[in-house]
Structure 1
Amino acid sequence: MSNTSATGGYLSPDGEALPSDDGLEDILQNHVVNLTGLNPNLVRPRWQPETPKLPEPTITWASIGVVSSEDPDSPYFDEDGNSINHETFDVLVSFYGPNAEAKAKTFKSGLTIPQNNNQLKPLGITFVRSQPIRNVPELINQQWLRRYDFQFTLRRKKLTHYPVLNLLTPPNIDMG
């Protein structure tokens, strides 16, 4: 249990403010699947505890992961003890296989369509900007595999509750 502003000492947040890393990966994977039409089994988290077998070179697939994030140093605090911040994070998606370039272009153009961005808004996430698609072929098992990397930036609202009591909060008085 965390302290409150009445007990003194350090304040820590009540619970987690955002989905876990796995939860965010699920959101991003779903977005790639829906914008590209790739099979969900062919859109993988970039970093996994156990590396799965790579698809055959004739199959188009993707990997996705957050590569950096930035929290502003000055959150806004409301009267309920909530810290409100807008975190930006960069996501790298790599498309592999014979249709990698086409899927990368389809995904990039789909990000800018307002209706597609509206699918992220209920989750507190919105598209900010993108970078050019980069051609970075990869040598795997003595065979060149087409690979196209695409990095884009998303922003999400981060609401964290701290047990800060205000002047209107009645003290806990023991009448016993």
Structure 2
Amino acid sequence: MSNDSTTAGYLTPVGDSPPYDGDLERLISRWIRGVTGLDAALVYPRWTDPQKQIPKNGITWCAFGITGIQEDFNPAYVQGEENTEQWSHETISLILCFYGPQGMTTATRFRDGLLVAQNNDELNRVGLTFLQHGRILNLPELINNQWVRRYDISVDLRRKIIRQYGIKSLVDAPVQFFGD
């Protein structure tokens, strides 16, 4: 398999990749905790293996999930001497579910905190920015045969993705002229 343009074959990115999976979930968890003031043990990603233990009834907590990632359709390419950079932007869609007796309070605190410039500045430090949010939905959930208050809000974040590929710049081409 080739990893630069000097030989035929598929190219994979070289260098560091942006955070995805658990790394991205940790960044998002820190952001949610920072904006809501919830303790680290009370904010965690959904749909993980192993699944975290659900807090006892009477505790306010948050579970979040990444529901989609949409990339722009037309990335830009910036040619360097050794590599080519592919620049694109992603929209990361999230669902945040706030549970417990203070679920609505925490959900509205989070929603309002999204619009505070300093909170977005902190998010910018990890390469993300707030794009938009949806309305808060009241969706009580039956957990362990008990109704638990639950308030959901959807949020979209954006980020710039730069991937490097081993596409070499043409700096010297052997040319042979023939004729008269």
User: Would you say same fold, with TM above 0.5?
Assistant: yes
Structure-1 separation of matches of 2:49 and 2:123: 27
Structure-1 separation of matches of 2:102 and 2:162: 40
SS in structure 2 opposite 1:78? strand
Tell me what 2:48 maps to. Answer: 48
Which runs of no fewer than 5 residues in structure 1 stay unpaired? 172-176
Tell me what 1:150 maps to. Answer: 153
Larger of the two Rg values belongs to structure: 2
Per-residue CA deviation, residues 49-72 of structure 1 (Å, 9 max, x unaligned), is: 012221111100000121011012
Q: Measure how far apart 1:48 and its partner are.
A: 1.4
C-alpha RMSD of the superposition? 1.7
Which runs of no fewer than 5 residues in structure 2 stay unpaired? 175-180
Matches within 5 A, 1:97-108: 97-108=100-111
Q: Measure how far apart 1:10 and its partner are.
A: 1.4
TM-score where L is the length of structure 2:
0.90
Residue 32 (1) aligns with residue 32 (2): yes
Tell me what 2:72 maps to. Answer: 72
Q: Is the 8 A contact 2:89 2:158 kept in 1?
A: yes
Tell me what 1:83 maps to. Answer: 86
Cα distance change of structure 1 residues 4 and 130 upon mapping to structure 2, 3 Å threshold: same
Residue 166 (1) aligns with residue 169 (2): yes
Which amino acid in the other structure matches residue 51 of structure 2? T
Structure-2 separation of matches of 1:16 and 1:170: 31
Q: Is the 8 A contact 2:90 2:158 kept in 1?
A: yes
Cα distance change of structure 1 residues 3 and 53 upon mapping to structure 2, 3 Å threshold: closer
| Correspondent of 2:121 among 118, 121, 126 | 118
